[in-house]
Amino acid sequence: MRDSEEEEKWSRETIPKVMKIITNRLPQRDLISLLFVSSSIYRTLVSTPSLWLAVDLREMNNAGDRLIAALSLTRYHHVKRIVLEFAQGIEDKHLDTLRNKLSGSLKDLEHLNLNGCQKISDKGIEAITEACPSLKIFSIYWNVRVTDAGISHLGKNCKHIVDLNLSGCKGISDKSLQMVSENYPHLEFLDITRCIKITDGGLQHIIVKCSGLKSLNLYALSSFTDGAYKKLSLLSHLRFLDLCGAQNLSDEGLFSIAKCKDIHTLNLTWCVRVTDVGVIAIAKGCTSLEYLSLFGIVGVTDKCLVALSEHCSNSITTLDVNGCIGIKKRSHEELVQLFPYVRCFKVHS
């Protein structure tokens, strides 16, 4: 009898304390595995709502069926984050089922990651967004089936988006960015990497109407002109800007970008028209710069390095000048003198 009482006390008092310590540190898959260890652990876990606010099925097979099964369980009825990144077996039909039968479980969803889910189309976007009115973060990286129609559904159904990743969605055009700008004036993070149909017009819609942007990723978009880049000066809160491959960006464009004084990460890799003049303007304007890549720019010399040292030496931790043939290689001691906080310096590797 005494052993039974001790075991009951252990289950009632000790197990919940131990679970509280370890569960917040465990991946969700391990958390689910613990459900099968004992009935007392099961009861403890399922009675802790904060443990079931996320469904993470990234890279898993049969993800569509798994997602439906999970959201059918009471413990997932207040889920806030769903991650399906590169999951297999997730299709429009699964998202349609969620809308029609389990929308109650999605009313609190704030973060949806559909990155790499190649079988999701505009129909799937329509279905899932109708069920997620509280969505704030939406990511659908590398999906060539989604078009302007899908983004239109997002704008119609989800009014609170602040973080949007459309990277690699080659089917969207300026129409999508116009809809985004009109529906999300408070947008803070936007990634349109490799969205090759977007032109100056689409980008300018975003710049003018989403003035609170903190992060803008324009990686591998070479068609924009200085006319669009000069508008970037309107983004006074910008902290992250990726312009890798911006072949038309000139020093004049950088003069405008230098007015974004809060930028701490700037990628100018392969911006081949840039010279010392533009980089010096950045150094003088963006004095909180932490990361700067000038990779592959042959028009810069030690002059810009001196300017960066004069104005940004207390902030820069990463500087990539690989391929900048006008910048000489330096010893560790010389680098520390120029940039005392630098942790990564790449040159002529």
pLDDT band at 36 (very low <50, low <70, confident <90, very high): confident
Residue 338 has pLDDT above 50, yes or no: yes
* Residues listed for the chain: 349
**Section 52-64 average pLDDT:** 96
Phi, psi of 252 (to 5 degrees): -60, -40
pLDDT band at 37 (very low <50, low <70, confident <90, very high): confident
Tokens at residue 130, please? 């109708």
Residue 16 has pLDDT above 80, yes or no: no
Tens of pLDDT, residue by residue over 171-180, are 999 999 999 9
Contact, 194 vs 173, CB < 8 A? no
**Section 166-190 average pLDDT:** 98
Contact, 204 vs 226, CB < 8 A? no
Residue 6 has pLDDT above 80, yes or no: no
Residue 207 has pLDDT above 50, yes or no: yes
More confident residue, 172 or 44: 172
Question: Which range among 6-10, 156-160, 333-337 has the greatest average pLDDT?
Answer: 156-160
pLDDT at res. 31: 74
pLDDT band at 18 (very low <50, low <70, confident <90, very high): low
pLDDT at res. 27: 77
| Mean residue pLDDT across the chain | 93
Residue 129 has pLDDT above 60, yes or no: yes
Tens of pLDDT, residue by residue over 209-241, are 999 999 999 999 999 999 999 999 999 999 999
E strands of 178-327, at which residues? 189-191, 215-217, 240-242, 265-267, 291-293, 318-320
pLDDT at res. 172: 98
Burial class (CB in 10 A: 0-12, 13-18, 19+), 301: middle
More confident residue, 267 or 43: 267
Contact, 57 vs 85, CB < 8 A? no
CA 257, chain centre distance (Å): 21
Q: Is the pTM of this model over 0.85?
A: yes
SS3 83: strand
pLDDT at res. 2: 56
Contact, 138 vs 161, CB < 8 A? yes
Residue 255 has pLDDT above 70, yes or no: yes
**Section 168-196 average pLDDT:** 98
Residue 4 has pLDDT above 90, yes or no: no
**Section 152-161 average pLDDT:** 98
Residue 87 has pLDDT above 80, yes or no: yes
Closest CA to 215 of 196, 194, 242, 234: 242
Residue 34 parent element (H or E) = helix 28-34
**Section 104-112 average pLDDT:** 98
pLDDT at res. 1: 47
